[in-house]
């Protein structure tokens, strides 16, 4: 079954001399187009109403993004990491919309991938940061609950950075399981293993900070021993993938050593969990990934995986790494996380 790719050309209006630039999506689409066996359906993003975004962000945040974007022509830099230009507000709105569109397609039984930017997982309810303005995957999760009556959503974040925004938005919500594997230490500095949620949400946040240079074996072990058992215990109604590919060894901003094959191994484990636990309901929302060739190869591979096509050769290869690099954090989480420790 072809994967539905949600895209818009309007993302190009949010671009700058910056690692997070419009060429990222172009490279992904070129890689998919170059593979005649990878049949994917391209659908233009359908804009959602502001109320959909306001399930996560107060209206004041949206007003602020609009105003900052409108005033941005002379001062594109919002903070040390994040730029804002006149096209940002529209691009960000469409990025959040694309994530919701992917949920719609998922609920109709289609594999779906929102190829969107700017990314979202660093945006908190009230703060734009880390290249992000609206938290696309969080908005998609609330959309799945509000529109389709799903109750329990798992968000699995494979970006090399901790999705502090997603973590913060759902920290007290027992119905949204946020799982993040991320390089440690790395921007934005949050996502310690002890960060497991607050109040009623204790246990519904699972952070897996992996030591720098962690590679394929360490990641796969973390997903086998921690992520999959946590999903099995939580039993989600759907799984949303925060699909960042900056844990690849070639990424200029990351500090890990995943290969394309390693990425696809952990994505296959998530797919298997979705098939086993929630009728195959899973979809992907693009986050980071700043090595253009690694981003294109990983995304192409994930689209093939979603479409039930066999894997192609990882032309970028792998880097040697210590297979036991993640042992300590895995053991700690298995013994201490409420979703993992023996009942």
List residues near Zn ion by CB under 5 A: 159, 161, 244, 246, 288
3-state secondary structure of 299: helix
What proportions of the chain, in percent to the nearest 5, are helix, strand and coil?
A: 40, 15, 45
CB-nearer residue toward Zn ion: 204 or 242: 242
Q: Using DSSP bridges, classify how beta strands 205-211 and 112-114 pair: parallel, antiparallel or unpaired.
A: unpaired
Residues with Cβ within 8 Å of 72's Cβ and at least 6 positions away in sequence, in order, are 84, 85, 86, 88
CB-based contact 98:116 (threshold 8 Å):
yes
User: Shortest distance, CB of residue 288 to Zn ion, whole angstroms?
Assistant: 3
Residue with the shortest CB distance to Zn ion: 288
Peptide bond into 188 cis (omega under 30): yes
Residue 91: φ, ψ to 5°: -60, -45
User: Shortest distance, CB of residue 253 to Zn ion, whole angstroms?
Assistant: 7
Among candidate residues 11, 14, 122, 182, the one labeled active-site is 122
Sign of CA dihedral 112, 118, 119, 120: negative
CB-nearer residue toward Zn ion: 104 or 159: 159
CB-nearer residue toward Zn ion: 161 or 337: 161
CB-nearer residue toward Zn ion: 52 or 181: 181
CB-nearer residue toward Zn ion: 130 or 301: 130
Q: Is 122 a catalytic residue?
A: yes
- Taking the C-alpha atoms of residue 313 and residue 321, their distance in angstroms, rounded to an integer, is 20
Element (H, E) at 66: helix 59-70
User: Shortest distance, CB of residue 11 to Zn ion, whole angstroms?
Assistant: 17
User: Shortest distance, CB of residue 140 to Zn ion, whole angstroms?
Assistant: 18
User: Shortest distance, CB of residue 274 to Zn ion, whole angstroms?
Assistant: 23
Peptide bond into 190 cis (omega under 30): no
Element (H, E) at 297: helix 292-306
> Could you list the active site residues?
122
């Amino acid at each position: 079954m072809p994967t539905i790719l949600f895209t818009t050309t309007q993302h190009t209006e949010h671009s700058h001399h910056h690692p997070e630039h419009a060429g990222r999506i172009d490279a992904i689409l070129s890689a998919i187009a170059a593979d005649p066996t990878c049949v994917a359906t391209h659908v233009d993003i359908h804009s959602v109403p502001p109320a959909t975004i306001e399930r996560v962000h107060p209206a004041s945040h949206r007003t602020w993004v609009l105003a900052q974007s409108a005033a941005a022509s002379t001062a594109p830099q919002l903070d040390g990491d994040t730029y804002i230009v006149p096209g940002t507000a529209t691009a960000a709105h469409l990025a959040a919309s694309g994530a919701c569109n992917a949920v719609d397609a998922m609920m109709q039984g289609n594999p779906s991938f929102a190829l969107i930017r700017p990314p979202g997982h660093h945006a908190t309810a009230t703060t734009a940061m880390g290249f992000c303005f609206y938290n696309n995957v969080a908005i998609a999760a609330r959309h799945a609950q509000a529109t389709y009556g799903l109750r329990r959503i798992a968000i699995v974040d494979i970006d090399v950075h901790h999705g502090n925004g997603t973590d913060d938005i759902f920290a007290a919500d027992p119905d949204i399981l946020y799982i993040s594997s991320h390089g440690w230490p790395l921007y934005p500095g949050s996502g310690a293993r002890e960060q497991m949620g607050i109040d009623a949400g204790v246990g519904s946040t699972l952070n897996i900070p992996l030591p720098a240079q962690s590679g394929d074996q360490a990641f796969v072990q973390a997903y086998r021993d921690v992520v999959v058992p946590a999903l099995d215990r939580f039993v989600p109604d759907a799984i949303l993938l925060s699909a960042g590919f900056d844990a690849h060894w070639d990424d200029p901003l990351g500090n890990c050593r995943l290969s394309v094959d390693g990425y696809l191994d952990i994505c296959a484990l998530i797919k298997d969990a979705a098939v086993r636990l929630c009728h195959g309901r899973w979809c992907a929302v693009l986050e980071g990934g700043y090595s253009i060739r690694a981003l294109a190869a990983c995304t192409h591979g994930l689209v093939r995986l979603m479409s039930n096509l066999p894997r192609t050769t990882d032309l970028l290869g792998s880097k040697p790494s210590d297979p036991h690099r993640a042992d300590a954090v895995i053991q700690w989480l298995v013994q201490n996380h409420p979703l993992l420790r023996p009942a």
